[in-house]
A and B are shown apart, each in its own frame.
Chain A
Amino acid sequence: MPPVEREARRSGHAANRSMPVAGARVNLRRATEDPAWARWLIIGLAMGFLGIFLFLPLGSVFAEALNKGVGLYFAAITKPEARNAIKLTLLTAAIAVPLNLIFGLAASWAITRFEFRGKNLLTTLIDLPFAVSPVIAGMIYVLVFGAQGWFGGWLTDHDIRIIFAVPGIVLATTFVTFPFVARELIPVMEATGADEELAAITLGANGWQTFFRITLPKVKWGLLYGVIICNARAMGEFGAVSVVSGHIRGLTNTMPLYVEILYNDYDFTASFAVASLLTSLALVTLVVKRLLGGKIANTRLPSGSGDGIEREAA
């Protein structure tokens, strides 16, 4: 930052000198602005960094996927193995996301609507998966349900497969994605406050009525935001799922795992074709996230003005 600082000092002094003049507002702005060359240097560095680390990889996924033609691309993503991977990915998300949605609602209701001891600890526990390597997340389920695990013997006796099968994939995904809805919902529910819920209860509504008619409409955008992110992570989880899947082709492969298998088979075009589907999903997630971001910002305004904007936006 030294060049910025050095130049900033110069422009700062210039502006300070003209400070007491009538059009002070214009000059004040200038005093807190960086000079043009520093601005362009910073923008150049920022875009250069993002260019190399974001735009280039993003472009190259699609370039590699399509470089042998559209025909091969569609052949790659419609193969039975690809379709099975897509199905399993959708199934996994369809189980993990609703589970974590309910958990997110329960946890944020408990945390934002009541005072209790150990609240900080509980909030920290919800962040747990962020501190656990995906490989360790998968490993703990192998330790519980694997052949050598706690329930291993019992499960083998009853011919139930969890590890190296679909239930393991769902469990590992659920673990990795459980914080997302709760994390998005807690700040939104904190910001909206409990006044309206209290009013509803006082007027004779029961708990469920209050929840469905007051709380849910108020936090719906925040909730959707959490669900979208949770879903993206659920469909994209690789490390944890890799440990518990057992890589049984066409049976226990989610899309991210199938990408790896194709890549290791040197079938690069097909690998990138499936990867491009996942990348498109990521892009859609980012667009929706951005659209929802504005709506959530509106919800977080003080209730009076926020309601008006909300209604206008809806």
Chain B
Amino acid sequence: MSKTTRRVLPGFGLTMGYTLAYLGLIALIPLSTILLKTAGMGWERFWHVVLSPRVIAAYKLSVGASLVAATINSIFGFIVAWALSRYEFLGKGVADALVDLPFALPTSVAGITLTSIYAQNGIIGRLFAPLGIKIAFAPLGVIVALTFIGLPFVVRTVQPVLQELEAELEEAAATLGASRMQTFRRVIGPALMPALITGFALAFARALGEYGSVVFISGNMPMHTEVVPLLIMTRLEEFDYQGATAIALVMLALSFTMLFMINLLQRWSASRHAAG
């Protein structure tokens, strides 16, 4: 079929050429500047920049807060996906549609809104202020913002799996004498795992690079609430392009590893799906 297609359908040269040219001009050539710029600075200076205390602190905060946010999203994303795909309740349609809001909402809007809610005089911040807990302008605020922007990922990867899985398999498990818990652990769980891990990884990858929503709520104190994208921004504003690219390169390496792992995971789960 595919061989016939290649011979009969026209446009391979045109579409492929255009695709590659566009990718090259818009993405690959500009991205290669990062490598070239860092290559020009030499190892010693590269490590000096990348391992400086302020940069290390930013990496720790970015990775740590992203992990916490992705974990929160995995737990609640699973619960939301389960509720949306299994139960009928008032407001379900609205809730289902609004899950994608963090995708569609500009990050600066998310940033100012979350800050106003979690600041010490905000609706939620007010509740925590008497307890001595500061959310906005503290590392907790970074976690809140990253949770918000990562919210759709786990829901949207787990939900279709739950929907596809519905009746038959679980009925079969029940018919064969499995308890609900056994069904959950042995039938639903394994089918869900790849989607859950993919969702976690996507939410983590997104959180790692997030800038817009975090700058407003974090307070941007160096060594304390400064995330990596903000640090890159600061270096750019100081016209320290080499410093910015060095930090960005480490960040990109991390992101690409994540993207690669997500791809492997999706291929692995697809093959499991096909086999099962």
Contact = CB atoms under 8 A, between A and B. Distances in A.
A271 interface: yes
Interface stretch (B41-49, B50-58, B101-109): B101-109
A143 B184 contact: no
B233 A242 contact: yes
A22 interface: no
A143 B37 contact: yes
A28 B171 contact: yes
23 contacts: A5-B185, A7-B180, A9-B181, A32-B180, A32-B183, A42-B87, A46-B95, A103-B18, A113-B11, A114-B2, A115-B2, A115-B6, A134-B211, A136-B209, A139-B244, A144-B30, A235-B106, A236-B104, A239-B210, A259-B109, A283-B104, A286-B98, A286-B100
B252 to A, nearest CB: 7
Interface in B107-134: 107-114, 116-117, 123-124
Interface in B157-200: 167, 170-171, 174-175, 177-185
Interface in A249-282: 255-257, 259-260, 263, 268, 271-272, 275, 278-279, 281-282
Interface in A88-110: 102-103, 105-107, 109-110
Interface centre among B28, B109, B147, B170 (most CB of A within 10 A): B109
Interface string A119-136: 010101111111111111
A239 B167 contact: no
B76 A45 contact: yes
B8 A198 contact: yes
A238 to B, nearest CB: 4
Interface string B197-216: 00000000110111110001
Given A42-B82, A143-B30, A279-B109, A34 B8 contact: no
A139 B181 contact: no
Contacts of B271: none
Interface SS, A side: helix
A79 to B, nearest CB: 18
User: Interface size bucket, B side?
Assistant: 35 or more
B83 A109 contact: no
A4 B99 CA distance: 24
Contact of A143 (B14, B33, B170): B33
Nearest to B183: A12
Contacts of A188: none
B151 interface: yes
A143 B34 contact: yes
Contacts of B5: 113-115, 194, 198
B251 A107 contact: no
Interface of B: 2-6, 8-12, 14-16, 18-19, 22-23, 26-31, 33-34, 37, 76, 79-80, 82-84, 86-87, 89, 91, 95, 97-114, 116-117, 123-124, 147-148, 151, 167, 170-171, 174-175, 177-185, 205-206, 208-212, 216, 228-230, 232-233, 236, 239, 241, 244-245, 248, 251-252, 255-256, 258-260, 263
A198 B4 contact: yes
B175 to A, nearest CB: 7
Contacts of A115: 2-3, 5-6
A272 B115 CA distance: 12
B65 to A, nearest CB: 14
B83 A43 contact: yes
A238 B33 CA distance: 22
A289 interface: yes
Contacts of B180: 5, 7-12, 31-32, 34
Given A106-B15, A142-B236, A54 B98 contact: yes
